[in-house]
Every structure is written in C-alpha cells, then in structure tokens.
Amino acid sequence: MAISSANNPVLLEDVGYRINDIPVLSGVSVRSESMRIGVIGRNGSGKSTLARLIAGLLEPSEGQIRIEGVDVYKDRRAAIRTVGILFQNPEHQIIFPTVSEEIGFGLRQLGASKADAVTGTQKLLARFGKAHWQDAPIHALSQGQKHLVCMMSVLAMRPRLLVLDEPFAGLDIPTRMQLTRHLNDAGTRLLHITHDTRDLEDYDQVFWLDRGRLRASGVARQVLQDFTQEMVRIGGGDDLSLLAG
C-alpha cells in the first residue's frame, strides 16, 4: 500500500553532522512523500544521529531539514506537533511514575488544561483497550508494556511523522507483532530506522545509510536485498578486528 503524503515531504538537503569535528553524517539528501519510510544501516552508521536530527533534537552542522515544511530544530513549537520519536530503550523516554502521568504530560505540552489532559489520557487508554492501566506504576510493567506506554504517549500528541529508532530491538515476536499492529492502526506516517530488514519488508521506500553517507535508496525489496547481500559478505570477513587511530 503506497499511500503518499504528496507536497508534505520529509526533506533533508545535504545534511552533515559532526562531533568534535569528526563527521558522523555527510551529504545526506532525502526526499520522501511516502507514508512508510525505512532507513537501514549497520551499527555505527549514524542511524540514531539521523533519527535525532529528524526529530529536531540535534542541529545539523550542515544542510537543511524540513519535515512537512517545518524546520524542526529551529521551530520547536511547530516541531512537537510535527514529529514524535520512539527510542530503543523506554527508560530513555519515560519520566513519570504512572501511566496516566506519562501520557498526560505530552497533552499538557501541547497546551491542554489539566482536566483536558486527564480526559484525553482516559480516552487514549480506552482506544488501546488499556483503560485499566491508568494508575499502573510504570516500574511494574514488562519491557513490552513500557514500549506500549511510550508509543501511546507519543501518539497522544498526534505527530504527523513518527520516527522509530529501533524500538523493537530485544522484544519477542508476539510483542513486536502487537506493537506493530498498534502502530499501523494509528495511521501515522512512519520513518523507521533499524538494522533489521524484517522491520521494513512492507515499507514503501528505504534509504541505506553506510558510514554516515547514503549508499542507496529505492523500493524496499531491492534495497533490503542489496543490504542483506552486503551484510552477509561483510559477515564472512573479520572487520571487528579493525581498530581506529
């Protein structure tokens, strides 16, 4: 299903990012109007850095990023309505002790009154069939349940694009399937960053990030096939031996 979001592109123009003058990303240009955008790459290829740039949490050292027309780093007010992000580790996202406080916080960020945030949280939990989680202490939840709390908290803010930074790594198959179903039901545009080709099999368009540069882009099937072949080829060697410096 290749529904497009024409005229609302995810647009990166010649984006670079340096840490202590060392390039982590260089010359990354992406234009996509797809509803399901994938980014694949090895460990250390710059995926998480790219996720944070697209969410507006980092300022590009070079180039421009516009998500549906919004400069997500400079215009933070517009950015929180435009892009949400889910991290690999829920502990990096969760700040509050209970489920309802965590979800309500995002609604308050959007300007909802305390009462509206409470009602909005109740409605959202009911929509996910989790009304009974309202007062649950988050520390008592399983890892998969914590992921779902993060997902509900982000979706409560109705972002037009949701960036997924390997949120399913380390989860078992049923949990991955259930979380994926919730994501698909939400109908939100997704930009999914991963090293696991399984996550992107039914995506519209995939970008392959290699050592901080875009190596390929195109329809998912072709890019994933080329990526897998290259990973198997590298896996036959021993590049773990290489030390920098």
Ligand X SMILES: Nc1ncnc2c1ncn2[C@@H]1O[C@H](COP(=O)(O)OP(=O)(O)OP(=O)(O)O)[C@@H](O)[C@H]1O
Other Cβ atoms less than 10 A from the Cβ of 105: the count is: 17
Cβ atoms of residues 120 and 112 within 8 Å: yes
Indicate the residue among 12 and 107 with the shorter CB distance to ligand X: 12
Q: How far is the CB of 202 from ligand X (least distance, A)?
A: 22
Q: How far is the CB of 148 from ligand X (least distance, A)?
A: 22
Only one residue has tokens 């078992």, namely 172
Q: How far is the CB of 234 from ligand X (least distance, A)?
A: 14
Indicate the residue among 9 and 23 with the shorter CB distance to ligand X: 23
Q: How far is the CB of 118 from ligand X (least distance, A)?
A: 37
Indicate the residue among 83 and 103 with the shorter CB distance to ligand X: 83
Three-class SS state of 130: coil
From start to end of the chain, where are the E strands? Answer: 10-19, 22-32, 36-41, 62-67, 83-86, 161-165, 189-194, 205-210, 213-219
Phi, psi of 8 (to 5 degrees): -125, 60
- List interacting residues with ligand X (CB under 6 A): 19, 24, 41, 43-49, 195
Indicate the residue among 46 and 159 with the shorter CB distance to ligand X: 46
